[in-house]
Amino acid sequence: MDNALLIIVSALGISSVLNIILKKLGISQIIGYIFTGTILVYSFDLGNIKLSSTLEHIGEFGIVFLMFTIGLEISLSKMNSMKAEIFGNGFLQATLTAIAILSIAMYGFDLDFKSSLIIATAFALSSTAVVLSYLKSSKEIYTPYGQRATGILIFQDIAVIPLLIFLGFMTNEGHESVWVIFRDTAISAVVVVGLLFVVGKRVMTWMLHFSASSDVDELFMGSVLFIVISASLLASYFGFTYSLGAFVAGMIIAETKYHHKVEYDIAPFKDILLGTFFIIVGMKIDVGYFLDHLTIIIGIFLLVLILKTIITYLVVKVTSGHGTSLKTALSISQVGEFSFVIFAIASVGGLLEKDLESLLILIVILSMMVTPFFISRITSFVDSFIEDEFIHVENTSFDGRENHVVVCGYSVVGKFVTAHLDEIDAPYIIIDNSPKHVQEAMAEDKEVYLGDMSKISIIEALNVKKAAAVIVTLDNLEKKRLICEAVLKHTKDVNLIVKVVSLEEKEALSDLDITVIVDGKLEIGRILVERMITCQLNYS
- CA 33, CA 275: separation in Å to the nearest integer? 6
- CA 527, CA 380: separation in Å to the nearest integer? 47
Query: Which residue from 516, 299, 520, 487 is spatially nearest to 416, judged by alpha carbons?
Result: 520
DSSP state of 517: E
Which pLDDT score is estimated for 489? 86
Mean pLDDT of 445-469: 82
- CA 237, CA 121: separation in Å to the nearest integer? 24
Residue 470's DSSP bridge partners are 406, 496
Beta strands in 24-153, from DSSP E residues, in sequence order: none
Mean pLDDT of 285-292: 83
Instruction: Give the amino acid at 337.
Output: E
- Of the two residues 214 and 363, the one the predictor is more confident about is 363
The residues, any chain, with a CB within 8 Å of residue 19's CB and separated by 6 or more, are 29, 32, 33
Which pLDDT score is estimated for 104? 93
Chain centroid, CA 286 distance in Å: 30
Report residue 540's pLDDT band, with 50, 70 and 90 as the boundaries. very low
Give just the sign of the alpha carbon dihedral 391, 395, 398, 404.
Answer: positive
Mean pLDDT of 52-62: 62
Q: What is the largest CA-CA distance in the chain?
A: 98
Report residue 491's pLDDT band, with 50, 70 and 90 as the boundaries. confident
The string of pLDDT tens digits covering residues 136-158 is 777 677 677 888 898 898 888 77
Mean pLDDT of 440-453: 80
**pTM for the complete prediction?**
0.64
pLDDT > 90 fraction of the chain, expressed in percent and rounded: 11
Which pLDDT score is estimated for 100? 94
Mean pLDDT of 431-443: 80
Compute CA distances 292 → 39, 288, 301, 362, whole Å: 19, 6, 16, 12
Report residue 411's pLDDT band, with 50, 70 and 90 as the boundaries. confident
Report residue 295's pLDDT band, with 50, 70 and 90 as the boundaries. very high
Instruction: Give the amino acid at 41.
Output: V
Mean pLDDT of 447-467: 81
Radius of gyration, CA atoms only, the chain: 26
Instruction: Give the amino acid at 462.
Output: L
Query: Which residue from 261, 108, 244 is spatially nearest to 163, judged by alpha carbons?
Result: 244
The string of pLDDT tens digits covering residues 94-126 is 999 999 999 999 998 888 888 888 899 999 999
- List the single range of 56-65, 132-141, 440-449 with lowest mean pLDDT: 56-65
Mean pLDDT of 201-217: 79
Half-sphere exposure of 432 (CA within 13 A, CB side): 25
pLDDT tops 80 at residue 259:
no
